[in-house]
Amino acid sequence: MKTKILAALLTVVLGNLTAAPAWAQTLPRLYLATEPLPYAPSEGEQAAGIATDMVRDIMRRAGIDYTIHPLPWKRAYTAALERPEACVYATTRTPERERQFKWAGPIATADWVLMARADRKFALRSLEDARPYRIGTYHGDARDQFLRARGFDVDPASNDQTNPRKLLMGRIDLWAASLGPNSRQTLARLGYTDKLVPVLVFNRIHAYLACNCAVPDRLVARMNAALDAMERDGTAGRIRRKYDVQPAQTARR
């Protein structure tokens, strides 16, 4: 009887041990989630923008099958945490998130900027000078977490696009924005160019494809190798120039 029990247990254990490698040896279709912000506009159901162009070329070179799903940010981020074949982009790489994902990139950089109404005068030499003010953030993103962790007075919005309106209405003093060329163009289209001004760049971040920890290491390595090749042969530079990119490119959360 003991022998039979031990044999049964051994079968279960071996089954569990072999299940993961069997999955890992396949080439799963990756589920890529991203947020269709104005900073990275969508075309119908297809995501577009600098980061998406970078990702598409990475996947093509790496020979990885994928689908892209424009989603609200929290859903996109949660999908990458929960789905074994999922990644989310363009995701700010922070110490708090480091162990939650496997990382491919960076695919973008961006400046975190405090924006103010043009008719208000701020003399901010450092982020610490902004401590007396109420700062509009996007709930759950890296800027919100960064400022909260440092004890700033934040007023989170469920949609980052509401923050410029809150700023103009006087509901917040400053808006913690993530700015690249696409975002500046969006502000211009919305008529904010002469109404909102940057008063302090307080961080420059790198954004990545953040993949679920179950995504095979070799796929992540292939993504990073593809990106390296894009940088070497000039493809990455051409993508940036297509969007008239300055040193800071579009990045999101």
28 Ramachandran zone, left/alpha/beta (phi>0; psi -120 to 50): beta
Instruction: Report residue 132 as tokens.
Output: 């007396």
Q: What pTM was computed for the model? A: 0.79
Contact 114, 175 (CB under 8 A): yes
pLDDT in tens, 211-249: 999 999 999 999 999 999 999 999 999 998 887 644 333
pLDDT in tens, 7-33: 544 444 444 444 444 444 566 899 999
Cα 57 off chain centre by: 17
Residue 37 reports pLDDT greater than 60: no
Instruction: Report residue 75 as tokens.
Output: 């859903």
Determine the average pLDDT of the residues in 53-67: 97
CA atoms within 13 A on the CB side of 92: 22
Which are the contacts of 61, defined by CB distance < 8 A and separation ≥ 6?
226, 229, 230
pLDDT of residue 190: 72
Looking at the DSSP assignment, which residues form a beta bridge with residue 116?
Answer: 197
Residue 109 reports pLDDT greater than 70: yes
Determine the average pLDDT of the residues in 79-96: 96
56 Ramachandran zone, left/alpha/beta (phi>0; psi -120 to 50): alpha
pLDDT in tens, 155-165: 999 988 899 99
pLDDT in tens, 150-199: 999 999 999 888 999 999 999 999 999 998 656 666 677 777 888 999 99
- For the chain, what is the mean pLDDT? 85
